[in-house]
């Protein structure tokens, strides 16, 4: 009988947040796939779990390890997948392992628990009805510029992760693109002894970051664009239909629609050739 892969959310700081179900799965797993065997070993010891076989699945080994995990599951083993903190596959390894197990016909389950993104969102004081998770922005280049440009028009509350040494630059880039008066919350060292929740504007956050050396991982929760919501894909397609029906080429139609609706030209063009 085939086994299963179980994604187990682990504490993002306070070890007391490890759930009873998570402990039960870890205690009964045939193997635990983890980012760092030392850190996971300490977690298992805290939970009173005798360490089973530990497999290293991190950003460098995930691609190679995914097949091994899938084979174990198909052979009848229960494999628990954890990361150093939080929910696997959310800005952490895990997605490739899930894909490999599912592709081979295996079973995948999840033990929900701590999430840095959701914890920061609900204490931010910003709207929670609709939000988007951006994870870490690209570090540099055109990909970073394009992503931030897209965020400048995002109507939903945005949740981002950032390392301390890049915090000031990211806040500055966001302030330039979104405006210094855009509200945000910055949550640092969640659930730990020195947890800090700061609320203000991007301009105030930039001044604050320049005056001190940030420490620890940060979650930024940024208010959405206060203007009207960006045009939907169906609206863009309808505008493209009108331009194409008027005799414009796909390239010229995309350029015209991008200008009229205020969307990136590349998005309009991609939709024009997707017909």
- Sheet with 218-222, strands from edge to edge, namely 131-136, 157-162, 218-222, 183-188, 196-201
Q: Are 113 and 39 in contact (CB under 8 A)?
A: no
Please give the torsion angle defined by the CA atoms of residues 205, 210, 214 and 219, in that order, rounded to the nearest 10 degrees: 30
Q: How remote is the C-alpha of 85 from its chain's centroid? A: 13
Query: Partners of 200 in the beta sheet?
Result: 184
State the Cα angle at 22 between 97 and 72, rounded to 5°: 35
Architecture of domain 4-114 in this structure: 3-Layer(aba) Sandwich (3.40)
Tell me the average confidence (pLDDT) per consecutive run of 10 residues in the chain, 275 residues long: 90 95 96 96 95 92 95 96 95 95 96 96 95 94 93 94 94 95 95 94 92 85 82 87 90 88 85 79
Listed in sequence order, the residues at least 6 apart from 7 whose beta carbon sits closer than 8 Å to its beta carbon are 81, 87, 88, 89, 94, 98, 108, 109, 110, 111
- How far apart, in whole angstroms, are the C-alpha atoms of residue 79 and residue 33? 7
CATH topology of domain 117-222: 3.30.950
- In order, the DSSP letters of 212-272 are S---S-EEEEEPPPSSPPPPPHHHHHHHHHHHHHTT--HHHHHHHHHHHHT--HHHHHHHH
Predicted local distance difference test score (pLDDT) of residue 216: 84
Predicted local distance difference test score (pLDDT) of residue 1: 58
141-148: list long-range contacts, CB under 8 Å, 24+ apart.
144/173, 146/264, 148/173, 148/174, 148/177
- How far apart, in whole angstroms, are the C-alpha atoms of residue 260 and residue 254? 10
Q: Whole-model pTM?
A: 0.78
Tell me the domain boundaries of the chain. Answer: 4-114, 117-222, 233-272
- How far apart, in whole angstroms, are the C-alpha atoms of residue 160 and residue 132? 9
Predicted local distance difference test score (pLDDT) of residue 213: 77
- Sheet with 4-8, strands from edge to edge, namely 53-56, 31-34, 78-81, 4-8, 107-111
Other Cβ atoms less than 10 A from the Cβ of 169: the count is 16
């Amino acid at each position: 009988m085939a086994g299963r892969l179980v994604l187990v959310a682990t504490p993002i700081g306070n070890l007391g947040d490890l759930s009873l179900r998570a402990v039960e799965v870890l205690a009964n797993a045939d193997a635990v796939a983890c980012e760092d065997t030392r850190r996971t070993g300490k977690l298992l010891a805290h939970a009173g779990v005798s360490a089973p076989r530990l497999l290293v699945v991190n950003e460098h080994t995930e691609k190679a390890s995914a097949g091994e995990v899938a084979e174990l599951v198909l052979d009848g083993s229960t494999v628990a997948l954890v990361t150093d903190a939080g929910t696997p596959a959310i800005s952490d390894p895990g997605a490739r392992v899930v894909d490999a197990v599912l592709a081979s016909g295996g079973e995948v389950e999840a033990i929900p628990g701590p999430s840095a993104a959701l914890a920061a969102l609900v204490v931010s004081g910003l709207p929670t009805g609709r939000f988007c998770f951006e994870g870490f922005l690209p570090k540099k280049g055109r990909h970073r510029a394009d992503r931030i440009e897209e965020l400048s028009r995002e109507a939903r509350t945005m949740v981002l992760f950032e390392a301390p040494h890049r915090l000031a630059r990211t806040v500055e880039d966001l302030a330039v693109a979104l405006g210094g008066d855009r509200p945000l919350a910055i949550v640092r060292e969640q659930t730990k002894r020195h947890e800090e929740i700061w609320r203000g504007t991007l301009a105030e956050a930039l001044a604050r970051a320049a005056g001190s050396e940030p420490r620890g991982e940060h979650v930024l929760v940024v208010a959405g664009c206060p203007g009207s919501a960006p045009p939907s894909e169906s609206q863009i397609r309808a505008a493209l239909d009108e331009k194409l029906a008027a005799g414009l080429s796909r390239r010229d139609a995309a350029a015209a629609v991008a200008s009229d609706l205020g969307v990136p030209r590349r998005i309009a063009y991609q939709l024009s050739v997707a017909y």
